[in-house]
Structure 1
Amino acid sequence: MRRLMILSLMLFGSLTYAQTTVQGTVVDENNEPVPGANVVLVGKAEGTTTDFDGNFTFNTSEQPPFQLQITAIGFADVLANVTANNQTLSVELKEASTFLDEIVISASRTPERIFESPVSVERFGLKEIKNTTAESFYGGLQNLKGVDINTNSLTFQSINTRGFATFANNRFLQLVDGMDNTAPGLNFVLGNLVGMSELDVQSVEILPGASSALYGAGAFNGILFMRSKNPFDFQGISAYGKTGLTSQDAAGDNNYYDFGVRAAHAFNDKLAVKANISILKGEDWHANSVIDLNNPGADRSNPAYDGLNVYGDEVSTLLDFDAAAGFPSGTVGSATISRTGYEEAVLADYNAESVKTDFAIHYRPFGNDLELIYNGRIGRGTTIYQGSNRYAVSGFSMQQHKIEIKNDNFFLRGYLVSENSGDAYDTRFAAINVNRSWKGDTQWFTEYAGAYIPAYLGGIQQGGLSPEDASTAAHAIARQAADTGRLIPGTPAFESAFNRVINDGDLTTGAKFIDNTKFRHLNGNYNLAHLIDDWADIQIGGSFREYELNSGGTIFTDSDGPITYNEYGAYVQLQKKMFDDRFKFTGSARYDKNEFFDGFVSPRLSLAYTAGENRNHNFRVSAQQGFRNPTTQDLFIGLDAGAAILVGSAPNNLDRDVRTFNVSQSGQALIGQSTVNITGSTAYENAYSLSSVLSGAPEAVTTDIIKPEEITAFEAGYRGQIGKFTIDMSGYYNRYKDFIANVTVLVPYYGTAGDGGLSLLALQNGDSKPYQTYTNSTVDINSYGGTVGVDTKIFGNFDLGVNYTYNELDFDKEQFPDFRTNFNTPKHKVKASFGNTELFKNFGFNFNYRWSDSFFWEASFADGDVPAYTVLDAQINYTVPSIKSVFKLGGSNLLGDEYFQAIGTGNIGSIYYVSWTINP
Structure 2
Amino acid sequence: MKKTAVSLVALLAAGPLPLQAQDIALDEIVVSANLDETEASRSGATVEVVTGEDLRSTADLRFSDVLRRLPGVSVNTRGAMGSQAGISIRGASQNYVGVLVDGIDVTDPTGTQVAFDFGQLGTTDVSRVEVLKGSQSALYGSGAVGGVVTITSRRPTEEGTHQSVAAEAGSNDTLALSYGITHLSDDWEVALTLSHIETDGFSNASEADGNDEADGYRGDRLSFYVARTLQSGVRIGINGFTEESKSDYDPAYYLPGSLSGQRLTYDEITAETIALGDGGSFDERLDRSSTGLRAFAEFDTGPVSHTFSVTDFRTERTYFENELAPNYLDYDPVTGTYGTAMRQTENTYEGHRTGVDWRGGFDAMGGRMILGAGWKNEDYDQTGDWGNLSENSSTKGVYGEFSRSLGDLDVALSLRHDDHSIFGGFNSGRVALAYRLDEATILRAQAGTGYRAPSNFELFSFYGSRELQPEQSRNVDLGIEHEFSEGTSVRATAFYLEVDDLIDFDRTSTGCPAAATNGPGCYSQVPGTSRRSGLELSGEMALTGTLGLAAAYTYTDSATNASTSWASVPRHLVAVELTSDLTPTLHGRIGVTAALDRPDDFGTPVDNYSLVDATLTKDIGSGREAYLRVENLLDEEYELVPGYGTSGRAIFAGFRASF
TM-score bin, normalised by smaller chain: 0.7 to 0.9
Matched, 1:170 2:62: no
| Aligned residue number for residue 900 of structure 1 | 639
Say which of 194, 203, 225 aligns to 2:150: 225
Say which of 554, 577, 584 aligns to 1:833: 577
- Equivalent-residue separation in structure 1 for 2:527 and 2:186 (angstroms): 59
- Amino acid across the alignment from 1:919: S
- Equivalent-residue separation in structure 1 for 2:650 and 2:298 (angstroms): 42
- Equivalent-residue separation in structure 1 for 2:491 and 2:435 (angstroms): 15
Say which of 244, 258, 264 aligns to 1:380: 244
| Aligned residue number for residue 876 of structure 1 | 616
- Equivalent-residue separation in structure 2 for 1:848 and 1:197 (angstroms): 19
Cα distance 1:270–1:133, how it changes in 2: closer, same or farther (>3 A)?
closer
- Equivalent-residue separation in structure 2 for 1:864 and 1:555 (angstroms): 31
- Amino acid across the alignment from 1:610: R
- Equivalent-residue separation in structure 2 for 1:569 and 1:236 (angstroms): 41
Q: Give the stretch that moved more between structures: 273-282 or 212-221.
A: 273-282
Q: Displacement, 1:98?
A: 2.3
| Aligned residue number for residue 687 of structure 1 | none
- Equivalent-residue separation in structure 2 for 1:912 and 1:620 (angstroms): 41
Contact 2:173-2:201 within 8 A present in 1 as well:
no
Contact 1:541-1:572 within 8 A present in 2 as well:
yes
CA-atom RMSD, angstroms?
3.4
Contact 1:863-1:903 within 8 A present in 2 as well:
no
| Aligned residue number for residue 629 of structure 1 | 453
Large movers: runs of 4+ above 6 Å: 343-346
Q: Displacement, 1:870?
A: 0.5
Q: Displacement, 1:776?
A: 1.7
- Equivalent-residue separation in structure 1 for 2:29 and 2:510 (angstroms): 55
Cα distance 1:554–1:649, how it changes in 2: closer, same or farther (>3 A)?
farther
Higher helix share: 1
Residues 396-475 of structure 1 mapped to structure 2, 5 A cutoff: 396-406=288-298, 409-422=305-318, 424-428=319-323
Q: Displacement, 1:382?
A: 2.5
- Equivalent-residue separation in structure 1 for 2:48 and 2:122 (angstroms): 19
3-state secondary structure, aligned to 1:511: strand
Q: Give the stretch that moved more between structures: 517-526 or 885-894.
A: 517-526
Say which of 106, 113, 117 aligns to 1:190: 117
Contact 1:135-1:890 within 8 A present in 2 as well:
no
Q: Displacement, 1:233?
A: 4.7
Residues 29-428 of structure 1 mapped to structure 2, 5 A cutoff: 98-99=23-24, 101=26, 102-132=28-58, 134-136=60-62, 138-155=64-81, 156=83, 157-165=85-93, 169-186=94-111, 187-191=114-118, 193=120, 195=121, 198=124, 200-231=125-156, 233=158, 235-245=161-171, 254-266=172-184, 269-289=186-206, 350-366=215-231, 368=233, 370-383=234-247, 384=249, 388-389=253-254, 392-406=284-298, 409-422=305-318, 424-428=319-323
Contact 1:782-1:809 within 8 A present in 2 as well:
yes
Cα distance 1:367–1:282, how it changes in 2: closer, same or farther (>3 A)?
farther
The superposition leaves residues 171-224 of structure 1 with CA deviations (integer Å, 9 ceiling, x where unpaired) of 11111001011122122212162x5652x3221000122111101112111211
- Equivalent-residue separation in structure 1 for 2:625 and 2:603 (angstroms): 44
The superposition leaves residues 871-892 of structure 1 with CA deviations (integer Å, 9 ceiling, x where unpaired) of 001011112332x112111111
Matched, 1:823 2:639: no
The superposition leaves residues 94-117 of structure 1 with CA deviations (integer Å, 9 ceiling, x where unpaired) of 967824644322111333343332
- Equivalent-residue separation in structure 1 for 2:241 and 2:582 (angstroms): 39
Q: Displacement, 1:633?
A: 1.5
Q: Displacement, 1:289?
A: 4.9
- Amino acid across the alignment from 1:163: G
Contact 2:64-2:75 within 8 A present in 1 as well:
no
- Amino acid across the alignment from 2:576: A
Residues 851-870 of structure 1 mapped to structure 2, 5 A cutoff: 851-856=594-599, 864-870=604-610
Higher strand share: 2
The superposition leaves residues 208-245 of structure 1 with CA deviations (integer Å, 9 ceiling, x where unpaired) of 22111101112111211111233475741111101110
Matched, 1:776 2:520: no
The superposition leaves residues 803-851 of structure 1 with CA deviations (integer Å, 9 ceiling, x where unpaired) of 1001111326xxx7xx424421000111101102x33212211111111
- Equivalent-residue separation in structure 1 for 2:322 and 2:91 (angstroms): 28
TM-score (norm 2): 0.83
- Amino acid across the alignment from 1:535: G
Residues 514-663 of structure 1 mapped to structure 2, 5 A cutoff: 514-529=348-363, 532=364, 535-552=366-383, 558=389, 562-579=390-407, 582-612=408-438, 615-638=439-462, 647-650=463-466
Cα distance 1:372–1:568, how it changes in 2: closer, same or farther (>3 A)?
same
- Amino acid across the alignment from 1:185: T
Cα distance 1:575–1:425, how it changes in 2: closer, same or farther (>3 A)?
same
Q: Displacement, 1:401?
A: 1.9
Cα distance 1:222–1:916, how it changes in 2: closer, same or farther (>3 A)?
same
The superposition leaves residues 257-313 of structure 1 with CA deviations (integer Å, 9 ceiling, x where unpaired) of 1111112235x533443322111111233144599xxxxxxxxxxxxxxxxx7xxxx
3-state secondary structure, aligned to 1:624: strand
| Aligned residue number for residue 803 of structure 1 | 552
- Amino acid across the alignment from 2:216: N
3-state secondary structure, aligned to 2:95: coil
- Amino acid across the alignment from 1:524: W
| Aligned residue number for residue 727 of structure 1 | 490
Give the number of equivalent residue pairs.
Answer: 596
Q: Give the stretch that moved more between structures: 711-720 or 400-409.
A: 400-409
The superposition leaves residues 739-772 of structure 1 with CA deviations (integer Å, 9 ceiling, x where unpaired) of 2222112769xxxx9xxxxxxxxxxxxx984543
3-state secondary structure, aligned to 1:895: coil
Cα distance 1:122–1:255, how it changes in 2: closer, same or farther (>3 A)?
same
Matched, 1:714 2:476: yes
Cα distance 1:170–1:556, how it changes in 2: closer, same or farther (>3 A)?
farther
| Aligned residue number for residue 280 of structure 2 | none
- Amino acid across the alignment from 1:569: G
Gaps of 5+ in 1: 1-68, 76-93, 246-253, 292-308, 310-342, 434-439, 442-506, 639-646, 651-704, 754-766
- Equivalent-residue separation in structure 1 for 2:519 and 2:649 (angstroms): 40
Q: Give the stretch that moved more between structures: 514-523 or 569-578.
A: 514-523
- Equivalent-residue separation in structure 1 for 2:220 and 2:453 (angstroms): 31
Residues 900-919 of structure 1 mapped to structure 2, 5 A cutoff: 900-919=639-658
- Equivalent-residue separation in structure 2 for 1:255 and 1:143 (angstroms): 25
| Aligned residue number for residue 335 of structure 2 | none
Contact 2:494-2:535 within 8 A present in 1 as well:
yes
- Equivalent-residue separation in structure 2 for 1:876 and 1:290 (angstroms): 30
Q: Displacement, 1:603?
A: 0.9
3-state secondary structure, aligned to 2:202: coil
| Aligned residue number for residue 10 of structure 1 | none
Contact 1:133-1:892 within 8 A present in 2 as well:
no
- Amino acid across the alignment from 1:840: T
Cα distance 1:601–1:556, how it changes in 2: closer, same or farther (>3 A)?
farther
The superposition leaves residues 400-458 of structure 1 with CA deviations (integer Å, 9 ceiling, x where unpaired) of 12211136944221111111224x224535x789xxxxxx99xxxxxxxxxxxxxxxxx
3-state secondary structure, aligned to 2:508: strand
TM-score (norm 1): 0.60
- Equivalent-residue separation in structure 1 for 2:546 and 2:206 (angstroms): 46
3-state secondary structure, aligned to 2:96: coil
- Amino acid across the alignment from 2:236: L
- Equivalent-residue separation in structure 1 for 2:553 and 2:521 (angstroms): 37
Percent of aligned pairs sharing the same letter: 20
Gaps of 5+ in 2: 8-18, 256-282, 331-340
Matched, 1:736 2:631: no
